[in-house]
Each structure stands twice: as structure tokens, then as C-alpha cells.
Chain A
């Protein structure tokens, strides 16, 4: 009898799980489906393609427009992530481990920035960047990306750093290690997962940005994929760009899906540890 109720409970949970999974995946599967459709079947409204083709992918990788945007997206996101994680780690270490006046202020300011309406910066940054020559360049996008990624990085990293048992540092010193050895051989290996998780979160954030990318760029020099997507016109004027847009969308979605598949647990802990402290 007990087994019967648990079977029923499992079934109920299974059903709920299925609803969640379907709800989460349908838009993704739909755009993937569109990207594999031939131009002839594109407007048939069927969820599963009747004829499969890779033509759309061939098209986008043949256009300079998309390849340039992809390079921009990857380059800008990687550089911004690297800088944000390094700066964030420095600040987070100070917040988690050191006692100094102004610490609370820094935490408060970074929180404010996390909630800052980015659109409020669009007009002044547009003007400032045009004046100093950063408009439509990589650094012109990297800077605002770093700024808005930093609060995220500081929060998650300081939560991670607070969890590191710092007794270990003392223990290493007692065992005869210098400050440098204690950091290299004991603390760094423990901090690595936190840094890695933060890097993924920051990368997702930069990868996702649309507002800055569309206002602070004007040409292929620095335009990222999300922006390029919205300007896609297809190979010729008369061609429907839908298939190409979908193929490009799938291409920039794949890395995110891989991150999520491989690092699900870490992403969850990273996202929540920074926001809610126990």
C-alpha cells in the first residue's frame, strides 16, 4: 500500500516535471525546428520540419555579416568576462576577508548598479563614447558589460570566498608555508570552482546583452550577434531571412545550452548564493 502511494506521488511529480520541461524547451525546439526547414516548408506552421536541410546554416556562415558578429560576440564576451572576474575577485576577496571602512558602501553601490536602469545610460554613453572615440568599438561595449557584470561577480564570488574555510590558510602557515605557498597550494585550488562558476554567469550576461550592443554600435566593427540578428535581411532582398535568423539564433544558443547541461549544479549555486545569504 505504501508503495502504491509513492508510485502515485512519483507519477504526479513526473507529470509536473514534464510540464516544466516542455514549457522550458518548446521555444528553443521551435526555433531549432525552423532553422532546419527548407524555404518551401518554412511557412507550413508545423512544429516538426517535414524536410530537413542545413542550407540555412551554410547561408549564415557564408555571410560576412554573421561571422563578423559571431567573432565580435565571442571576443567581447570573453574579454569582458575575464576582466570582470579578475576585478570582481579582487573586490570580493577584500569584502570576504578584510576589514576596512567603506566596505559596506562598496557592497551597497554594487547592489545599486545591479538594479540600475541600463537605458538611463544609453543617451549619455552614446554621446560620451562618440566624443572619446569609443563608439562602435570593442572597448566601447566591453566597458559597460564589465560594469554591469561586476555586481554579479562581486556577489557570487564573495559568497564563494566566505565559504572557503580560511582556517586552512592558518593551518598551511602552521605547517610551514609562506603566504604565497598557502595561497597557491591550498586556497587557489579551493577558489577555482567559484571563479569558474562566476565566469560562466558573467559570460551568459555579456552574451545576452542587447540594449548596449544596439545603441553603442553602428557597423559590423563591433556589432554582436543578437543585434546582427535583428538587422538580418537575407542574402538577397527578396529572400525571407527567417531561416537564416533561426540558424544564427541556434548557433548562439548552443554554447549556453552546453554550459547549462554541464554546469547546472554550479550555475544554480552561483546564482542563489550571491542573492540570498543563509
Chain B
């Protein structure tokens, strides 16, 4: 139809003899010049960022799969050899790995759960407080901004017998030399550091809850708890899921705090800590890479489960198209 009308338009007006030749070009190529140049510009602008990101992640992860299939210890470079899945067998049958895995999982689950509860409270305070909103928000941002290592040192000295105000307060033992209390302190440090981030994401979700909706709910007779669970939580669900996903994957990478607080002693190593020790202390590239690959797979599974469970709520799908 449009094709025909275009032809009549051309034929109907003989004055513009130059026009048809101009117009025949876009007919052969389905895209107009404008559109094509828009595409080209889009690719051009994204290319540098995409290349850097891929070069520093995709290639190394593939390379690390290759390394994980070799016996490769930098202390004995002559013994380098292809060994298939032997490294995986070694790691997966090693109790240190499973202890570290358990520690990581425990830290992840506990910290994310506590952070969700605390973060929700903090978000509510930041969102609804009547006094000192600016001060609260500024204060809450400080843990987010502080270098983790600095915070970790602060906690370490706080719990060091003699030096620390907290150690003296609680017991006469040395909490950082016992497994249970060490883990508790590691989790405390993690929670302190990352709750504000959780709270900020949740606060953004809170801001999406229309005031009128809450007013309507209270005129409908909902108590404040019901307003929270029946009105606010459902509206906030996408924000909560995004925050949970980000924090879970982030918690799984726990490293800095453990490094400073216990250096992995007393069976408090996380998987990241273990991989680091094998690589830098042990200089065993084969085993280190195997752990890298296993951690990558674990994180991929977590992400996959999140996306599967919550479907469209996953970030990225919320990317809205232009127009």
C-alpha cells in the first residue's frame, strides 16, 4: 500500500525528477540512512566499555578454566602438565574447601537476612523520620563509603583484649581467637558496612509507594502493620529483590573483613580467602584457578535461582525501551 502510494506520489508530480533516484536507495536497504547511522553511533559509543569489560572478565574466566585443568604450581614450574579434572577432584574432596564453603554460605545467609531486616528499618527511618533526615542519611552513608579494610581494623582493635573497648566490655577471653566469636564479629563487620547500601535500595523502593495508597489503606481500616505487609511490601517487591540479589552475590565474595580480622585462622576462611591463599601464599595456579571456576559456578547458580524464582522482577528486564 505504502509502496504504491509512494510511486504515485512520484509519478503524480513530474517536477521532481531528481526525487525518485534519491528515494530508490532506502527501498533497496530497508533502513534509512538516519537509522543506520544511529545504530552505528550506538555501537561505536558502547564498544570501548564493552571491550574493556569483556577483556577483563570473559577472557580471564575462560583462561582460568584452561588453567584449572592443569597441574601448575609456580614453585615447581617444570611439573606443569594437563591433568583433566584432577584438580576438581582434589578441591571437592578436600575438607578445607567444604569448611570454607560452609563458612561463606553461613555468612551470606545470616548477613543478608539481618541486613534485610535492619535495612528495612533504616530505610523506614530515613524515609519517614520527622527530624534530622539529612543527618541520618549522611550518617548512614558513612559505612558505605568507608574503606572496608579500615572498618575491619576498627573492629579488630575493638575486640582485641586490652586495646579494645568492646573486648573489655564483654569477656576476658580473646574473641578473635575463637571460631564462633570470630565468625560473629566478621558478620557484625559485614552487616555494619553494607546495611546502608541495602537501606538505600529499599528506600528507593519506599519512595515508589504512593502516599495516597497508604491513606486509602488506613481509611479502609488497615493497621500500620497491615499497611506495611499488604500495601508497602508488595509495591516494594521489585526493589527488595534487586537489593537481595545484589547483596547475596556481594556477601558471597566476602574477603576483606576476614583477611584483616582473622586472616582465615580458626577455620574462618571464606572461599575467596581460600582461593587467595592457594594462589598468593601457595602459588598454586592450578588449584587456585579451580577454586575460581567453582566460585564462579556457585555465583552463577545463585543468580540463576534468583532470576528463575522471581522471574521478571530481575533487574535488566526493567530496562525500558525508548518511546
Asked if the two chains touch in their complex, CB atoms less than 8 Å apart, one says yes
A residues at B contact (CB < 8 Å): 6, 9-10, 13-14, 16-17, 20-21, 23-25, 27-28, 30-31, 34, 42-43, 45-47, 87-88, 90-91, 93-104, 106-128, 143-144, 146-147, 150-151, 154, 204, 207-208, 210-211, 214-215, 225-226, 229-230, 242, 245-246, 249, 252-253, 256-257, 259-261, 264-265, 267-268, 271-273, 275-278
A124/B61 in contact, CB under 8 A: yes
A43/B162 in contact, CB under 8 A: yes
The verdict on B175 contacting chain A, using a C-beta distance below 8 Å, is no
17 contacts between A and B (CB under 8 A): A9-B130, A14-B132, A17-B135, A87-B49, A110-B53, A115-B249, A119-B271, A121-B61, A147-B53, A150-B53, A204-B145, A214-B259, A215-B280, A230-B260, A245-B153, A246-B157, A249-B154
New contact pairs (16) apart from A119-B253, A260-B141, CB-CB < 8 Å: A9-B130, A13-B128, A17-B129, A31-B150, A93-B45, A110-B49, A114-B246, A116-B296, A150-B53, A207-B147, A208-B147, A211-B272, A264-B138, A268-B141, A275-B201, A275-B315
Given contacts A91-B50, A110-B53, A119-B255, contact A124 B292 (CB under 8 A): yes
The verdict on B12 contacting chain A, using a C-beta distance below 8 Å, is no
Q: How many A-B residue pairs have CB under 8 A?
A: 314
Q: Which residue of A lies closest to B133 (CB)?
A: A17
CA distance A34 to B166 in the complex (A): 14
CA distance A123 to B87 in the complex (A): 14
Q: Nearest Cβ in chain B — how far from A97, in angstroms?
A: 7
Q: Which residue of A lies closest to B143 (CB)?
A: A24
B164/A117 in contact, CB under 8 A: no
A21/B136 in contact, CB under 8 A: yes
Contact with A along B140-176 (1 / 0, CB 8 A): 1111111111110111011000111101100000000
- Chain B residues touching A, majority SS: helix
- Chain A residues touching B, majority SS: helix
A127/B63 in contact, CB under 8 A: yes
Q: Please tell me which stretch of B14-22, B219-227, B237-245 contacts chain A, meaning at least 4 of its Cβ atoms lie within 8 angstroms of it.
A: B237-245
Given contacts A90-B45, A94-B42, contact A272 B201 (CB under 8 A): yes
